[in-house]
Structure 1
């Protein structure tokens, strides 16, 4: 399967711009799930900027 990194980068909302996984969504998701967290693109912009990627922060952000 071909990686669509350049296309993904156009829609990536993560503000951690020095991350080597930006635009490589499969690696990003795998890395975050291994750390028991979610990628920044799962959060509203104001919460994403806190870099708290926890499931708890996700539930709180979306009132779950």
Structure 2
């Protein structure tokens, strides 16, 4: 079944990202790399492009 979850307001700020706005492709890509997608981060943390779980925990003040 093809992914039809196209998100209009994508929070990714990575220039030229080919997955921008396509949540299914984005999640699959980052999951394969053991990373988290941009939409889980605050704007400040997202702009660091550090998609690690550790950075997510730090961003949500769990560390």
1:9-48 matches, within 5 Å, as 9=8, 11-48=9-46
TM-score, normalised relative to structure 1: 0.84
Confirm or deny that 1:52 pairs with 2:53: no
* Equivalent residue pairs, number: 61
Q: Which residue of 1 aligns with 2:4?
A: 3
Question: Cα distance, 1:59 vs. partner?
Answer: 0.4
Moved over 4 A (4+): none
TM norm structure 2: 0.85
